[in-house]
Amino acid sequence: MAVPGAFLAAVLFLLCRLGPYLAAAHSPPGVECILFNEEYMTCTWGSRETLTANYSLYYWYENRSPMVECKHYLQDRGVSVGCRFNQSDIIQFQPFRVLINASLGGRTLEIPSERMELQDLVKPEAPVNLTVRNMSSNQLQLTWRSPYPKAQCLEHAVKYKSNKDTSWTEHRVKGDIFSFPSVDYEKYYTFYVRSKINSYCGSTQLWSEWSIPVVWGNNATSKGTVEEQLHWFWIHTVLIPIASCLLLLVLVVLLVRMERVWVILMPRIPNPSKSFDELFITHKGNFQEWAGVPKDVMESFKPNYSENICYVSELPSTESYEPL
């Protein structure tokens, strides 16, 4: 009975010692690498909530380069959850491998990944500049542009729905043109486009995100994208009112300044008539009452003397009279 007890104790001891490392080894769901538009790549192995150890990533290309540690770790509140690779670190059509080191309790556990081909991990950027044109009385043509540098390596998917449809219709397209053969002018249609690498350039199921939609038809713009609609919305509802208010304010300021200049250049001639309204209307021309001059002062201005009348006559000329 002593032997089984000792054996059980040893097993429990080993499980307690190895338990954290086993959890660390199985905690990451696996390394997932995505090459975004051939511009950069990320390899992630979990999130802060699921990771129980500190992780570091090493990578190499088979028969080409030595093992190198990640230069740019992706952090989630202080925990490494991924690695970012610059464009200069990416080599397509070469077997790519990564090794994850999980460190916990002073020990390190290596977690190797499977072999990867980077050309099969490309996720293109969503198409842009969606445009709808009328080609005939009942046919539309949808065009777009892809930011992906190798347009010949792409295939596309177009989905559309009218305002009266309950489900989306999706079509695969090889080029960057989609013809819609029959339209109902009583409806309006919404179109989306997404892209992925075709079978000639890789083997992947990574689709890009759906593009910004374009709308055509009744109660919608016949041409243009939602970006353009938002653009004109901001112009009409924000920019034009603000510009109008600023212009009105500038005109008011200019008018005020011009009036001040006009007053300086052409001063107004004062009109004294209003100052004598009280004299003629209230006092009926009585200056003494209007000016408030005392009566005795007015009497002092009147003359108080008299003179005898002096009669003056003209003498006849000397030639017309005889001397006395």
Assess whether pLDDT exceeds 70 at residue 1.
no
Three-state DSSP class for 268? Answer: coil
Query: Which whole number is the average pLDDT over 288-295?
Result: 66
CA distance 237 to 122: 41
Assess whether pLDDT exceeds 80 at residue 137.
no
Assess whether pLDDT exceeds 70 at residue 231.
no
Which superfamily, per CATH, for 32-120?
A: Immunoglobulins (2.60.40.10)
Greater pLDDT, 276 or 12? 276
* pLDDT, averaged across the chain: 77
- State the pLDDT at residue 206: 92
- State the pLDDT at residue 209: 95
- State the pLDDT at residue 25: 37
Which superfamily, per CATH, for 124-221?
A: Immunoglobulins (2.60.40.10)
- The model's pLDDT over 85-133, given as tens digits with 9 standing for 90+, comes to 999 899 888 899 998 888 877 777 888 778 899 999 999 999 999 999 8
Quick one: which H or E segment has residue 250?
A: helix 240-265
Assess whether pLDDT exceeds 50 at residue 20.
no
Beta carbons of 160 and 210 less than 8 angstroms apart: no
- The model's pLDDT over 139-160, given as tens digits with 9 standing for 90+, comes to 889 999 999 999 899 999 999 9
- State the pLDDT at residue 186: 83
Per-residue pLDDT band for 15 (boundaries 50, 70, 90) equals very low
- The model's pLDDT over 281-290, given as tens digits with 9 standing for 90+, comes to 676 666 666 6
CA distance 232 to 238: 10
User: Token pair for residue 310?
Assistant: 């002096």
Which of 26-30, 135-139, 150-154 has the least mean pLDDT? Answer: 26-30
Nearest residue to 131 (alpha-carbon basis) of 210, 216, 218, 189 = 216
How wide is the angle at C-alpha 228 spanned by C-alphas 214 and 191, nearest 5°? 0
DSSP 93-143: TSEEEEEEEEEETTEEEEEE---EEGGGSEEPPPPEEEEEEE-SSS-EEEE
Assess whether pLDDT exceeds 90 at residue 170.
yes
pTM, two decimals, is 0.56
